Chains A and B, each alone.
Chain A
Amino acid sequence: MAGRDVVFRVKRYRPESGGKPAYQDYRIPYRDDMVVLDGLNYIKDHVDPTLTYRWSCRMGICGSCGANVNGTPRLTCGTYIRDVHKGTVTVDPLANFPILKDLVVDFDDFLTKLASVTPYIVREESGDLSKEFVQYPEEVEAYRQQSLCINCMLCYAACPVFGASPEFIGPAASALALRYIRDTRDEGADQRLARLNTKSGIWECTFVGECSVVCPKDVDPAAAIQTLKFLATMRHMRRLLMPGAPSR
């Protein structure tokens, strides 16, 4: 449908100017099939080429285009303008992260945390790699939900605990740790649980649950963290009662 306008109120930050982030309004035409990312692209292409934001796949896979839309962390490629606007669509950079420029935030801290839980299959011995490692469907099902994480960071933007304690390892890194702990091919559970079983690890989580609400892939990181608390406690008790026994 032609002839309809919407106002995009976008948070701008220009590091070179030295000022504080401030909103800038753009009135643009929109159709019912346009998502928020389409609106940002329209502004970039037709109104203001200096607007800076991340995006790539436009289909909810790459996890690049996350932003706070009307105060809620969302993938802008999966959020229809018609569903969120009441005359105005407010777009802020993801909360809880330092801003680099406009809607682009600094993820370095997350990447360090992610690396700390070894988000890949760890084998204690190399073994015979020419042999196929059989995994049954129910074994795949055990970690399938967590494996859907696309590292979009919406869960970190929604987590008030991470907002208050930036040292908290956070939802996505925890969910991905569980993904590999549950993988029958993996043998790195012990080192991951050692990292997670700390004050800045899973025990910082107070189960607000907002991470699972905003997750676009239904990974349910809140439940993953509670499962990790159980696994970490069992590991601790095993080490206490049966020193020297294998931790898994």
Chain B
Amino acid sequence: MAREYPWRRRAGWWLQNRRYLAFQLRELGGVVSAIYGLIFLNLLRTLRAGESAYTAFVDMMRTPPILYVNLVLFALLVWHAVTWFMLIGKSQPIQFTERPLPWRAVFGVNVLLWIGVSGAVVYLIFGGF
């Protein structure tokens, strides 16, 4: 029997094309959403621990290095959300007529809803824009 040469994947496979890179960033965005969850849980913990703990945590979150990290995390989170909205119309085609709705239409509606809900949340928290 002929000797096969086993397949070996290169470490940088995800740099091979921009779609692989976009996918990897989307997956990284998923990890980031978990990190955000932990940050908010810690915020609740410090709130429960008392005013000084809460203030110390908020002050730490306001330091420039943390703000920069947050900026990167936020960008990845937005990428995660946007790319998932792009997949909704492809994963579950919505069909009112003979042909399913184009994924771009489903994406557009989801983004509009997202902006609307985010605006409502901001309004509720800050009492206006």
B7 lies within 8 A of A96 (CB): yes
- Which candidate, A33-41, A185-193, A204-212, is the interface stretch facing chain B? A204-212
Interface residues of A in 207-226 (CB under 8 A from B): 207-210, 213, 222-223, 226
Total A-B pairs, Cβ < 8 A: 61
Whether A15 sits at the interface, judged by CB under 8 Å, is: yes
A71, A95, A223, A229: the one contacting B7 at CB < 8 Å is A95
A72, A206, A210, A223: the one contacting B27 at CB < 8 Å is A206
Q: How many chain-B residues does the 8 Å CB contact rule pick out?
A: 20
B20 lies within 8 A of A210 (CB): yes
Interface residues of B in 1-44 (CB under 8 A from A): 2-7, 9, 13-14, 16-17, 19-20, 23, 27
Q: How many chain-A residues does the 8 Å CB contact rule pick out?
A: 30
B6 lies within 8 A of A160 (CB): no
B9 lies within 8 A of A71 (CB): no
Whether A123 sits at the interface, judged by CB under 8 Å, is: no
Whether B109 sits at the interface, judged by CB under 8 Å, is: no
Report if A163-B27 is in contact (Cβ < 8 Å); known contacts: A71-B17, A226-B92, A230-B92.
no
CB distance from B25 to the nearest CB of A (A): 12
A15 lies within 8 A of B4 (CB): yes
